[in-house]
Structure 1
Amino acid sequence: MEVSIKTFDQFDIHELYEVLQLRSEVFVVEQDCVYQDLDGKDQKAIHILGYVNDHLVAYTRIFQPGDYFDQASIGRVVVSLKNRGEAYGQEIMKASVKYCKEQGFTTIKISAQCYLDKFYTDLGFISTGEKYLEDGIPHQAMVLEF
């Protein structure tokens, strides 16, 4: 998987469309969750895009400490349904964690869907606090410190 890192202003219109299409495909349609994906936060985020054969297969967005949580944060973690089981989720998260380390961040906090607990635990994240509903889906706060 080829990884690309961009600010919002570096997107061309086709890349932005691909990202929004992938997020909508998974978070709205597949998960049957009506929520406001276009939340006004993409402009602050760093976007990590994973491509295979020029097709977007995985994506995350990263916030600096203070932009979302007090700590750095990785969110909108998504892998295309047709590309699951190929370790692209681990690859895009490892690229995202690497970016955070390179920026000098020492802690990453995420709001993780509970059914993905093992996925994030295997990457070193630790669950903190109580489970909660976010957009009708059970979530938990998780942190990774280095």
Structure 2
Amino acid sequence: MQQPELIIKTTSELTPLELLTIMQERTKVFVVEQRCAYQEIDEADFNAHHVYLTLDNNLLAYTRIIKDSDNAYIRFGRVLVPLAYRKKNYGRQIVTATIAEIHHLYPNKMIKIGVQNYLRSFYESFGFKAVSDVYLEDNIPHIDMILNGGH
């Protein structure tokens, strides 16, 4: 059985087809499926690193890495697995690869993420610790979490 390919590129390195595929899947999950009307494609996309798994030209999982504006920490987000590929461990694979890439690009930097609260234990399994109370973002309960650099 063929294994998924891990691809990591900056926005400017993406081909037009790769960029359109990523944006289409992000919109499907975060705007349509989650019924959130917001600016899904934003300023952070201009300088992001896009991390994704693909197999037979199908996007299996995706995240983006972004530097925080004050450079205090690194963030990743827009973590998604399209509906057809859920429950196949791709979420765990993409988060593992994303953390490894952050450690490679930004050694010893703290990682800070804002996650949907129902996924808290999933991220705790990677070593993330909650650093905020639950708050609403786009009417969805979220929590901020950190992972210290080098871990």
Give the TM-score of the pair, scaled to structure 1: 0.93
The one-letter amino acid of 1:90's match is R
Distance in 2, matches of 1:30 and 1:69, equals: 32
Return the letter of the residue paired with 2:132: G
Q: What amino acid maps onto 1:139 in structure 2?
A: H
Q: Report the equivalent of 1:28.
A: 31
Mapped to 2, the partners of 1:47 and 1:102 lie a distance apart of 14
How many residues align? The count is: 145
Question: 1:3 aligns to what?
Answer: 6
2:55 is the counterpart of 1:52: yes
Matches within 5 A, 1:131-146: 131-145=134-148, 146=151
Which ranges of structure 2 fall in alignment gaps of 5 or more residues?
none
- Cα distance, 1:127–1:38 mapped onto 2, change above 3 Å: same
Q: How many angstroms apart in 2 are the aligned matches of 1:99 and 1:79?
A: 19
Determine which structure has the larger strand proportion and give its number: 1
Shift of 1:7: 0.5
Q: Counterpart in 1 of 2:98? A: 96
Q: 1:122 aligns with which of 109, 120, 125?
A: 125
TM-score by length of 2: 0.90
Runs (4+) of structure 1 exceeding 4 A deviation are none
Write the deviation string for residues 73-131 of structure 1: whole angstroms up to 9, x where unpaired.
11111111110000000000000000011121431100001111121111211111111
Pairs within 5 Å for 1:58-77: 58-64=61-67, 66-67=68-69, 70-77=72-79
Partners of 2:133 and 2:75 in 1: how far apart? 18
Partner of 2:84, secondary structure, is: helix
Percent identity of the aligned residues?
A: 39
| Structure 1 alignment gaps of length 5 or more | none
Q: SS where residue 6 of structure 2 aligns?
A: strand
